[in-house]
Structures are given as C-alpha cells and as structure tokens.
Amino acid sequence: MNTIIAGVKIPDSKMAADATDLVRDTASELLFHHSRRVFLFGSLRGTRLGLHADPELLYVGAMFHDLGLTEKFRDSTSRFELDGADEARQFLTG
C-alpha cells in the first residue's frame, strides 16, 4: 500500500512495516504520530536543502528516535535517546 503524505512516500518495505508495527505496539498514538511527523519534516527539509537520504533508514531512525520514552524500552541508567538508539541498533541488526 502506497501512503503519501505532503508529497512524501512512506516507505513500505518489510523493515519499515516491522518498525511501524513495533512502535504502534509499544508507544502511545501521540508518540507514533510524532515519530511519523519527524520523518515527514526531515524528508521535506532534506529535499528543500538538496540532500539525499535513504528513505527507509530515515523512516526507521525517525520511528525509533523517541522509543526510549516508552515503558518497554526505558532503561533507568541511560538517557531515553540512547535507549531508543540501542533498540534501533538491535532492530536493524536483527
């Protein structure tokens, strides 16, 4: 299914779908939609600046960037940004 928002195609690969499912299952609707907006704004801003990024990796990075705020992925000894990055690394290497 091709989803296009503000002229930006949401990646529809298996990896992107798995990331979407994971975030939907563990984060609030607010955090899910925030993460999607981060991808959209990043894509639009990058295009405006003439930058080229892998849309799939940008999407996964955006989806995971605040995942450390969720109960499941929060580690009391680290900052939430690092918790989200750690989970993204495990997801991408898994």
Phi, psi values for residue 8, rounded to 5°: -105, 125
pLDDT of the chain, 94 residues: tens digit per residue: 689 999 999 999 999 999 999 999 999 999 999 999 999 999 999 999 999 999 999 999 999 988 888 777 777 677 877 777 788 788 888 8
Comparing C-alpha atoms, which of 10, 1, 5, 15 is closest to residue 55? 10
The amino acid that residue 61 corresponds to is G
Output b/e per residue, 3-26; b: 16+ Cβ within 10 A.
Answer: eeeeebebbeeeebeebbebbeee
- Global pTM reads 0.86
Cβ pair 21, 63 in contact under 8 A: no
Range of the domain at 26: 3-93
Domain count, the chain: 1
